[in-house]
Amino acid sequence: MRAQDREALPGDLAIWIFIFAELLVFGILFAVYAFARSAHVALFNQGQALLDRRLGLANTLVLITSSYAVARATEAIHRDRVQACGRWLLAALLLGSLFVGIKCHEFARDAQAGMNLSHDLFQMFYLSLTGFHFLHVVMGMAILAAVAAKTFAGGYRAHDCTGVETAGAWWHMVDLVWIILFILVYVLR
């Protein structure tokens, strides 16, 4: 990599504006969650006890690993290794599906336990935060799939890989938000 490449923002400027807007949205949601929790500590503790931390932890590890795969994909395309880039993107996509599978299993379990948006404040926050994040994972997977397809079709090269970097930046954001969400909602009691 040349010096000037390292200094430039990876990916497209528009995606960074979008990422900051999204981080702002999640930031507001987290702040409101913290505010509500401090006002209803007992209720939130009781609600959090219903969650299975193992499932949350498993999903955290899955997403971090998928972020690693995306990073490898970006590195591969910088070295012009198109096939390797495509394979790493597929790996990330597979791990994304695993996240979706685990999360769906968890939602089903929650539904069986009678959780819903109207039951109490904690369940409202838990379901809307994870549900909103879930939609971001699905959207991220759609982006990864599109970029992977274009990679295998030979659409990217080392000097022209903004698409891969853009998808990577978005996916890392989805991962980062989950890590905070996991700690905030599952771990901190």
Partner 1 sequence: MNFRSQLVAKPYFVAALALFLGQILFGLIAGFQYVDGTFLFPAIPFSVSRMVHTNLLIVWLLMAFMGAAYFIVPEEAQTELYSPRLALATFWVFLVAGALTILAYLLVPYSDLAAATGNAMLPTMGRGYLEQPLPTKVGIVLVALSLLFNISMTLFKGRRTSLNVILVGALWGLALLFLPAFYFPEDTVKASYGWWWVVHGWVEGDWELILSALLGFILIKMTGVDREIVEKWMYVIIAMTLISGIIGIGHHYYYIGAPEYWIWLGSVFSAIEPIPFIMLIVFSIRMLLKRRRENPNQAAMLWALGTPIVAFLGAGLWGAMITLAPVQYYAHGSNFTAAHGHLAFFGAYAMVSLAIISYAMPLLRGRVANGIAAQRWEMSGFWIMVISMLAIALALSGAGIVTAFSQRMGDHPLSFMDTQAQEQVFFWLRELAGVGFLAGLLAYLVSFFVPGEAGYDAAVKRALS
Positions that interact with partner 1 (CB under 8 A): 12, 14-15, 17-18, 21-22, 24-25, 28-29, 32, 36, 117-118, 121, 124-125, 128
Cβ-contact 11, 169 below 8 angstroms: yes
117-133 exposure pattern, b = at least 16 Cβ within 10 A, e = fewer = eeebebbbbbbebbeeb
Q: What does each C-alpha distance from 70 to 2, 45, 64, 66, 96 come to in angstroms?
A: 21, 36, 10, 6, 11
To partner 1, the closest distance from the beta carbon of 4 in angstroms equals 21
Q: Which is nearer to partner 1, 112 or 118 (CB)?
A: 118
To partner 1, the closest distance from the beta carbon of 118 in angstroms equals 5
Residues near 123 by Cβ (< 8 Å), separated by ≥ 6?
47, 115, 116, 117
Q: Which is nearer to partner 1, 15 or 51 (CB)?
A: 15
To partner 1, the closest distance from the beta carbon of 91 in angstroms equals 26
To partner 1, the closest distance from the beta carbon of 113 in angstroms equals 18
Q: Is 43 exposed, middle or buried (0-12, 13-18, 19+ CB in 10 A)?
A: middle
To partner 1, the closest distance from the beta carbon of 94 in angstroms equals 25
Q: Which is nearer to partner 1, 86 or 163 (CB)?
A: 163
Q: Which is nearer to partner 1, 62 or 129 (CB)?
A: 129
Q: Which is nearer to partner 1, 22 or 106 (CB)?
A: 22
Runs of H (alpha helix) within 49-152: 53-78, 82-112, 121-152
